[in-house]
Structure 1
Amino acid sequence: MADDAATGKTGTGGDRRSSEIEWNDGAMTTDFANVVNIQGTREQIELFFGTNRSWETGKDGKVSVDLTNRIIMTPYAAKRMLMILSGVLREYETRHGVLKVDER
């Protein structure tokens, strides 16, 4: 099934019927994260979001991260998210320049 994030319409064409998604943001919250960690099993992918509030490591070399959200999704949903996010970042870099990140 193909997703169109801009219109909210989904469908593959052919014999399948397409549907329109109504986005209900009534219970939505907004959080900030500058740290993400991901782990997965055969059945699910887990994304952990948090905030690093310190700019330097502690005396013991550790960085403290406050975890705020955990998102659990199927591998199929994670793959669709990867495809959509890749497209969004490609468009961003076309407009604003290439993002250079540390791959550690």
Structure 2
Amino acid sequence: MAAERADTPADTRTAPVVKWNVDDLKSSYVNFASANSTREEVVLNFGLNDTWDRVTPEVEVALGHRLVMSPFAAKRLSDLLAKLIGEYETRYGALK
């Protein structure tokens, strides 16, 4: 084991305890998502496509939610989703 340098204090910080406040939490079902970005932000749009007739030349998607976040937060979300899908596929098989 490597010895700690005398001029480098040990990191004694601990992660804060997160308390989830769900008083105003709402759940929504979405089956459509789109994304775009600028240098400063990533925008995710979520909605519902309830067009069941697949031969319709035009489809209307009712957008219900827009999330705007920094690219750093979007990267963390991307990593989280990749991990979640990996765990899902381990349990239930690969998604195609």
**Which of residues 12, 18, 27 is equivalent to 1:30?**
27
Q: Give the share of equivalent positions with the same residue, in percent.
A: 36
When the two chains are superposed, the root-mean-square deviation of aligned CA atoms in Å is 1.6
Q: Which residue of 1 aligns with 2:88?
A: 92
TM-score, normalised to structure 2, is 0.82
Q: Please list, as runs of the form range in 1=range in 2, the aligned pairs for 1:1-104 lying within 5 A after superposition.
A: 14=11, 16-55=13-52, 56-58=54-56, 61-100=57-96
Alignment gaps of 5+ in structure 1: 1-12
Task: Tell me the CA shift for residue 69 of structure 1.
Answer: 0.4
- Equivalenced residue count is 86
Structure showing the higher strand proportion among its residues: 1
Larger Rg: 2
Q: Which amino acid aligns with 1:30?
A: S
TM-score, normalised to structure 1, is 0.76
Answer 1 or 2: higher relative contact order, Cα 8 Å, separation at least 6.
2
Alignment gaps of 5+ in structure 2: 1-9
Q: Which residue of 2 aligns with 1:9?
A: none
